[in-house]
Amino acid sequence: MAFKDSASYTDLSQGRIRHIDFRIGVNFATRTLEIEATYRLQEPVRGSLYLDSYKIDLTHARVNGQDLECEFDASDDVLGERLHLKGFEGESTFTLTFRTSPEARALQWLNASQTAGGNYPFLFSQCQAIHARSVFPCQDTPSVRFTYSAEVTVPQGLVAAMAAEKTGVEEGSGQTIFRFQMPQPIPSYLFALGVGNLAFRELGPRTGVYAEPETVDAAAWEFAENETKIVEAEKLLGPYLWGRYDLLILPPSFPYGGMENPRLTFLTPTAILGTRGHTSLITHELAHAWTGNLVTNATWQDFWLNEGWTTYAETRITEVLEGKEVSDLHAVYDEKRVLAVIERIGVDSPHTALKLPAGEKDADSFTTIIPYYKGCFFLQECEYAVGRERFDAFIQKYMARFQFQSLTTEAFLDFLKAELPEVFEKVNVHKWIYEPGMPEERQKHTSRLYDEVKQVLDGYEQGIKPTREQVQGWHRYQILSFLQGLPRKLPVEDLAYLEDILELEKRNDAALFHLFYATAIASGYESILPRVEQFMGTIGRMLYVLPVVRALTEAEWSRGYVRPLFERVRDRHHQITVNAIEGFLKKAGL
C-alpha cells in the first residue's frame, strides 16, 4: 500500500531527501531568512519531485549548475503550496535559493521589547507539526528523515543556537557566523533555530542551558539536576544517542511547555519557578530524545506513539526521582484532566481514539492531551499484563529495533504482538487504539496525597472551609488537584480566601493561576479582569492561556470583554496561539 500522509504533499515514490546543507542569513529588519539549501537525495530521481512549502519566495532552483524547471502548482490554506520540481534526469542533488515570508508560521520574530532583557531582538522556530515548510521547502512529513549542516549568519552581538552540534564560530564585519552539523537523521519537524542575546551555563558534562543573561542564572539553578535525569532515562530507555542535552529558555510567547528539539530542548520560561517544582516538564522533553526523536510517529495520526510513550517514560522516571507517592499523584491528576477533555470533545468522537482519523490536514488543530495520557494509560495496561520486568526488556528492544526510524501505529502493534503476545489476550488493544473514549476496563489510579486533597474538597462542598494549616506543605500537584477539583462556580469571597491560604501570589506559578482564573471567571469575580489581562499579556503557553480564554467566552458577564482584551495582547502571542484563540472566539460567535 502506498504510504500517505494527509498533512503533506510528499510522494515517496518520487524519492527521499537524505541530507541538506543550509546557508542561512538572519535578517531582523525584514523578518526573513535568506537561505541557500543544497539537497541530497537518497537515490537519483527522474521526473518530478514534490516539496511542501509555505509562502516561500523562491529565486532559483538549480541542478548541476543549470536552472531546474519548477512551479508552485497546488495550494491550500493549511498545507501551503506544493513546489513541483520538474525534469530530473537521474540527479541526486539540487540547490534552492529562497527567502522565507515574514508570515512564516514556524518563525517568531520578537521585538527587543518582547524579550526579558529588552535590548536585542529574538527569533525562534517551532516547526512541529507541519511548519518546517515555511522555513525551507521539504518533504514535511515525519516519515522522512535527513541529516544536515548549517551556516547561520547573524548580526554581531547575537548568538545562534540550533538543535544540532555546534562546530564553529567566526566573527566577521558586523556579523557572526555560527556553524552546526546534525549527523543523526531527523524528521523535518525537529529542525530548530533560535537567535538572540543568549548566555550559556554549563550544568554537567553533557548538559547546559542557553537563556537571556537576565534569566540564565535562575534557569541554571532550576535545571541543575538534568544530568541525573539523563542517567535515569538511560536506565529505562537505553543509551542517549544525541551527544549533548542542552536547554534554550525562550521568551514568554513560546506557545508550548517544551519542544523536544534534539540536543536542544526549547523551553517555556513558565517552568522556572525558583523551586525546581516543575522539572517534570524536562523529564518529559528529555524522554522524547528516545520516544519521538529516536523512534518517531510516521504521521500525525500516530501522534500517540510520540506522546503516549513519552508520558509513560516520564511517569517511570518521576517514580524513581520523586517517589511513587508523587508519580501516583500525577497519575490521578492527569486522569481527571484527560477524562474531562474526552467528555468535552465527546466520548464518541473519533478524535478521542489513539489512532486519529485519516484525512486530517491540520495536525495542530487536533492535538489534545488525549494521546499523552490515554496513550500512557494504555502502555501501563500493557505493563500490568506482562509485568514490569518483561515490559522493560520490551522497551529496550523497541528503542534499539526502531532507532532513527519512523513507524505507524500498525507497525508498532505488529512488533508488540510478536514480542508480547499475552498483551493481546489480557488487554483489549483494538479498543484502546481505535475506539473513542476511555476504556472502562483499566487499572484505576489511586493516590494517598490526592485523597488528602479530596477530603478537603469534600469538606468544602459541605460548607467547611479549609484552614491554612491544612494546605500548608502541600505538593504543587496537590494544589493543582485542589484547584481543579473545586466546584465550577463559588462565592467570590471564598475565592479571595482560597487564594490567600494557598499563597498563590508567592508561588508565582502560571499553572496554578490559570486554574484559579478560570474558576474566578466562571464565578463572576469581575474585579479580577485586570489581573486576567495581565496574565494574558505575559503568559504565552497555550496550555495555560486557552482555558482562561474559554472561561471568558463561556461566562455571560465576560463575553463582551474577550475580543477587545485579546486585541490588546495579540502581539504578545505566537501565531499558533493567535490562531487557536481566534478559533475559540469564532466558535463562540465573538
C-alpha cell at 378: 494504555
Q: Does the N-terminal peptide bond of residue 129 adopt cis geometry, omega within 30 degrees of 0?
A: yes
Q: Which is nearer to Zn ion, 99 or 541 (CB)?
A: 541
The one catalytic residue in 372, 450, 517, 525 is 372
Catalytic residue from among 81, 222, 285, 383: 285
Binding mask 15-44 for Zn ion (x = CB under 5 A): ------------------------------
Cell digits of residue 28:
531582523
Give the Cα separation of 19 and 7 in Å (integer). 22
Can you say how many angstroms the Cα of residue 517 is from the centroid of all Cα atoms in its chain?
A: 24
Cross-strand bridge partners of residue 150: 22, 180
DSSP code of 488?
S
In 284-417 the beta strands, taken as DSSP E runs, fall at 295-297, 405-407
Rounded Cα–Cα distance for residues 220 and 201 (Å) = 6
Query: Which C-beta is closer to Zn ion: that of 292 or that of 466?
Result: 292
CB of 256 to Zn ion, least distance (A): 9
Q: Which amino acid does the sequence have at 65?
A: G
Q: Which residues of 544-574 are buried (b: 16+ CB within 10 A; e: fewer)?
A: bbbebbbbbbbbeebeebbeebbeebeebbb
Q: Identify any residues that bridge with 168 across adjacent strands, giving them in sequence order.
A: 179
54 is catalytic: no
| Rounded CA separation 292/285 (Å) | 10
Residue 285 known to be catalytic: yes
Residue with smaller CB distance to Zn ion, 212 or 307: 307
Q: Which is nearer to Zn ion, 191 or 290 (CB)?
A: 290
- Measured from the CB atom, the residue of 256 and 477 that comes closer to Zn ion is 256
Q: Which residue, among 192, 195, 198, 164, has the nearest Cα to 177 in the 3D structure?
A: 195
Single-letter code of the amino acid located at 161: A
Site for Zn ion in 294-323 (CB under 5 A): 307, 310
**253 with 265: CB under 8 angstroms?**
no
CB of 90 to Zn ion, least distance (A): 41
For Zn ion, which is the closer residue by CB, 303 or 561?
303
Amino acid in the structure at residue 373: Y
Site residues for Zn ion, 480-519, by CB under 5 A, read none
Locate all alpha helices (DSSP H) within 446-541, ordered by sequence: 448-461, 468-471, 476-485, 492-501, 504-507, 510-522, 529-538
For residue 344, the tally of other CB atoms under 10 A from its CB is 12
Comparing CB distances to Zn ion, the nearer of 22 and 266 is 266
Q: How far is the CB of 480 from Zn ion (least distance, A)?
A: 18
Number of residues that bind Zn ion (CB under 5 A): 2
Q: How far is the CB of 299 from Zn ion (least distance, A)?
A: 17
Beta carbon of residue 132, minimum distance to Zn ion (angstroms, whole number): 17
Residue closer to Zn ion, measured from CB, 261 or 310: 310
The number of C-alpha atoms within 13 Å of 99 and in the hemisphere containing its C-beta is: 10
* Residue 546, phi then psi, degrees to nearest 5: -65, -40
Binding residues for Zn ion, per CB under 5 A? Answer: 307, 310
Active site residues per annotation: 285, 372
